[in-house]
Amino acid sequence: MRIPNTFAFISLSILLSISSCSDGDKKFFAFDAAQLKQQYAPTETASLAIQNPEGKAIDSVVYYVNDKNVGSNKGEPMAFALKDQKLGYQSLKALVYFEGDAKAEEVEGRIEVISNVTPKIYNYTVVNTYPHDEKAFTEGLEFYRDTLIESTGQKGASYFRKFDYKTGFAYKQVNMDPEFFGEGITVIGGKIFQLTWQDMTGFIWNANTLKQEKTFHYDRKVEGWGMTNNGTNIYFSDGTEKLWIMDPATQKINDYVNVYTGGTKIKSINELEWIDGKIYGNIWQKDVIAVIDPATGAVHGAIDLSALRKQVTSKEAEVLNGIAYNPKTKTIFVTGKYWDKMFEIRISE
C-alpha cells in the first residue's frame, strides 16, 4: 500500500519531534552497576557510585536511600552500611550537580537486603487431639486466660467465639454482620481486636463481655489476614511478605517488617501467634509454620505439619490455619479451615 506524501510528511515530522524531545531528556549519569550487587546481607556495605561516561565535570552528588539523605561528595564512591536497613528492597537516588547545568540530574536504582539467617527445622510431638467444628472456616485462634477464642471467615458465616477446646462446646458466640468477611483476632489490654479481609475495617470488643466497643478503619490500603501482639503493639499480616505494626491505642500503622528466608520473600503469611519473643506464622496453602524474628522479619525456623494435615478426615478440609499458644502448658494448639480436629503439640529444636 502506498502512503500519501502528506501523511508521510506528517509522520516524519512527528518522528523528528520525538527525537528532538529525547535528546533534550538525555541522561548523562547512572548508578555504577559494577559497584553494586543485586542482593546484600544486613552485615554488608554497599558502594554507591555514579557512572559518568561522557566525562562531565561533576560539582557534587547527593545520595539518598529510601528518600533519606545519606551524604554527598564530589562523585567518588560512597560506602553505605546496611546494618540499620529493613530486609527488602531499598530505593536508591542520587542528585548529580554538574558543570553547565543549573538543575541536578536525578539517578535512580535499587538493591535488596536479604536475610543471612539459616532457618532451623523444628520438631514437634502431639500431646493431645481434640474435636474441632468442621464447619468453621478458621481465621484466628488465641487463648484469653484459660479460654480459647476462635474467629472464622466467609461472608454470612463469620463469627468469633469462646469455647471449650476439650469438647468443642461454645460458651458464647458473636456473629458478624453478613457484609463482612472475618479474619484474624488478638487480645490485648482486655480487648479483642478483629480484622476483616478486604473491607479495611476492624472491630474492638470487650474481651470479657464480648460487647462491641469500636469500629476502626485501616490507615493503609491493605487487606486484613492474621493478627497477634507482644503486649505493646499489634502485628498483622496482609497476604504479602509484610507484617504491619499497629498501635492498639490509636489503631494507626506505624511500622512494618518484611519476612525473608535467605534471598526469598515469604508471601501469603496468614494467621499469627506471639510465642517467646518470636512470631509463629501460617503460610497460606502450605502445611508449614514459619518462626519469624519480629524485629527484622528474618525466618529463624520452620515447622512442617503436613503429617497432621493427613489425619484430618473432614471432606471439605482446607489449609492449615490457626495457631494458639497456651503459656501455662507451653504447648501450641493448631487447626485449619474446616478441619474436624485440633492438635495440641509441643515444639523442640
Which residue ranges form the domains of the chain, and what is each CATH number? 26-113 (2.60.40.10), 120-348 (2.130.10.10)
Contacts of residue 349, Cβ cutoff 8 Å, sequence gap at least 6:
120, 122, 123, 301
Contacts of residue 45, Cβ cutoff 8 Å, sequence gap at least 6:
79, 80, 81, 82
Q: Is the distance from CB of 303 to CB of 258 less than 8 angstroms?
A: no
**Per-residue model confidence as pLDDT tens for the chain (349 residues):** 444 444 443 443 333 333 333 445 688 999 999 999 999 999 999 999 999 999 999 999 999 999 999 999 999 999 999 999 999 999 999 999 998 777 899 999 999 999 999 999 999 999 999 999 999 999 999 999 989 999 999 999 999 999 999 998 999 999 999 999 999 999 999 999 999 999 999 999 999 999 999 999 999 999 999 999 999 999 999 999 999 999 999 999 999 999 999 999 999 999 999 999 999 999 999 999 999 999 999 999 999 999 999 999 998 888 999 999 999 999 999 999 999 999 999 999 8
Which phi and psi (to 5°) does residue 268 adopt? 60, 40
Query: Checking DSSP bridges between strand 101-113 and strand 39-40, what pairing results, if any?
Result: parallel
Query: Checking DSSP bridges between strand 120-121 and strand 299-304, what pairing results, if any?
Result: parallel
What's the rounded Cα separation, in Å, for the pair 256 and 241? 10
Cell of 166: 476439650
Say which residue the cell 483476632 belongs to. Answer: 185
For residue 301, give Cα distances in angstroms to 53, 106, 237, 290, 348: 47, 41, 18, 6, 11
What's the rounded Cα separation, in Å, for the pair 211 and 293? 34
